[in-house]
A and B are shown apart, each in its own frame.
Chain A
Amino acid sequence: MAEPGGPGLDPVIHAASRLRVVATLAALVPGDKLSFPRLQTLLDMTAGNLSTHLRKLEDAGYVVVHKTHEGRTPATYVELTARGRRAFEQYTETITALLGGAGR
């Protein structure tokens, strides 16, 4: 049961890169969005790598990717959905419980 990576851990975010993406977006006020370049800077990821992970998170309904225009230049904003925020909170709780509440 307490086997690392065993049942109970959301496979969508139980992966280093996606976990970091979700942890970053969860720092925003609910309803706020973060621009793709800023998110990329905070994660030190390549654009291609980040896009791949965002697609997986989008498929799971954890993030919404907004494509807009700022003047003439296209801009991409990423928002964590309520579902994604819940999944991250649940994941953190499970991890903390697995560690016996250590690191609190």
Chain B
Amino acid sequence: MIDDARRTTGDGTGPAPQDDAALDPAESLRLIRAQQDRARDLTPDGRVVYGTWGVAWLVGYGALWFSVDNADSAAGAWAFVLFGTLVLAAIATTVVHTTRRSRGIAGPSAQVGTLYGIAWGIAFTAMSVTLGGLATAGASPDVVGLAANAMSCLVVGMLYFLTALVWGDRRVYVLGAWILLVGAVSPYVGYPGSYLLLATAAGGGFLVMAGAEVRAARRRAATGG
């Protein structure tokens, strides 16, 4: 796909006089398609973003589930460290990737993008503070764990609705609804099964989304080149 774009770009870099030679419609359309493909560089790659988060949820929550010895104990410290590391790595990947893709773009969408990124930060900070409050009020580790899982899904699902509406992407809307559903039923699954549900159903949701992006990219490569 990238090779195609490079090849066609090479054709268009000649001196200006070459431009005055008659372009035939097929060549024009090919140039347009190739350049539109190249311009995909201006938007984040869903394969990277959803793939990263899918792995983080699958492995991170999977580890938390695995580390719980019995229903009365919190997940193991090593699992929390692994989970935290994966989440931080996913945040870093997302931020670096989207910042790189959007560099050089100024205007309304740059402001929207910044405010959108900050919204994630505020929402998860508020959630963490709330969970701290529940623990302080005497909630047991299993109740805090259940609440943390359900609330994480609530925040992600709602913010994905926002994503879908701002960028007009229906698939993200469906993913958001799925994550909300998973979060809503997760407390009923109980502790520590809730961790396993998030790893498989929610993590799987991200990976299905990444898979859809891979298929879309393949389709574009097949028809656009």
Give residues of chain B (38-57) contacting chain A, Cβ–Cβ below 8 Å.
38-42
In this assembly, does A37 line the interface, its C-beta being within 8 Å of a C-beta of chain B? yes
Contact mask for chain B residues 113-138; partner A; CB cutoff 8 A; 1 contact, 0 none: 00000000000000000000000000
Pairwise interchain contact B22-A19, C-beta atoms closer than 8 A: no
Complex Cα spacing A28 to B113, Å? 13
Q: Knowing A16-B31, A32-B107, A37-B104 are in contact, say whether A42-B39 is a contact too (CB < 8 A).
A: yes
Stretch from B5-13, B140-148, B155-163, B186-194 contacting the other chain: B5-13
Q: Knowing A5-B24, A15-B23, A42-B41 are in contact, say whether A32-B109 is a contact too (CB < 8 A).
A: yes
Complex Cα spacing A99 to B41, Å? 28
| Residues of chain A contacted by B41 (CB below 8 angstroms) | 42
Q: How far is the CB of A15 from chain B (nearest CB, A)?
A: 4
Residue of A nearest to B167 (CB): A29
| Chain B interface size, under 10 / 10 to 19 / 20 to 34 / 35 or more | 35 or more
Pairwise interchain contact B31-A20, C-beta atoms closer than 8 A: yes
Interface of B: prevailing SS: helix
Other-chain contact of A15, B20, B25, B29 (Cβ < 8 Å): B20
Pairwise interchain contact A95-B107, C-beta atoms closer than 8 A: no
Pairwise interchain contact B12-A20, C-beta atoms closer than 8 A: yes
Pairwise interchain contact A19-B23, C-beta atoms closer than 8 A: yes
Pairwise interchain contact A24-B35, C-beta atoms closer than 8 A: yes
Residue of A nearest to B19 (CB): A15
Pairwise interchain contact B13-A44, C-beta atoms closer than 8 A: yes
| Chain A interface size, under 10 / 10 to 19 / 20 to 34 / 35 or more | 35 or more
Other-chain contact of B107, A4, A14, A33, A98 (Cβ < 8 Å): A33
In this assembly, does A39 line the interface, its C-beta being within 8 Å of a C-beta of chain B? yes
Pairwise interchain contact A99-B25, C-beta atoms closer than 8 A: yes
Q: Knowing A19-B23, A96-B29 are in contact, say whether A27-B39 is a contact too (CB < 8 A).
A: yes
Contact mask for chain A residues 1-45; partner B; CB cutoff 8 A; 1 contact, 0 none: 000110000000011111110011001110111110111001111
Complex Cα spacing A45 to B42, Å? 17
In this assembly, does A92 line the interface, its C-beta being within 8 Å of a C-beta of chain B? yes
Pairwise interchain contact B42-A28, C-beta atoms closer than 8 A: yes
Other-chain contact of A33, B26, B38, B106 (Cβ < 8 Å): B106
Residue of A nearest to B110 (CB): A32
In this assembly, does B36 line the interface, its C-beta being within 8 Å of a C-beta of chain A? yes
Complex Cα spacing A44 to B38, Å? 11
In this assembly, does B219 line the interface, its C-beta being within 8 Å of a C-beta of chain A? no
Q: Knowing A23-B32, A92-B32, A99-B29 are in contact, say whether A4-B106 is a contact too (CB < 8 A).
A: no
Give residues of chain A (45-75) contacting chain B, Cβ–Cβ below 8 Å.
45-46, 49, 52-53
12 CB contacts below 8 A, A to B, read A5-B22, A17-B12, A18-B19, A19-B35, A28-B109, A33-B107, A34-B104, A37-B104, A43-B35, A46-B13, A92-B29, A92-B32
Q: A35-B103, A99-B26 are in contact. List 18 more A-B contacts (CB 8 A).
A: A4-B24, A5-B23, A5-B24, A15-B20, A17-B12, A20-B31, A23-B32, A27-B36, A32-B106, A33-B106, A34-B104, A38-B103, A44-B13, A45-B12, A46-B13, A91-B28, A103-B26, A103-B29
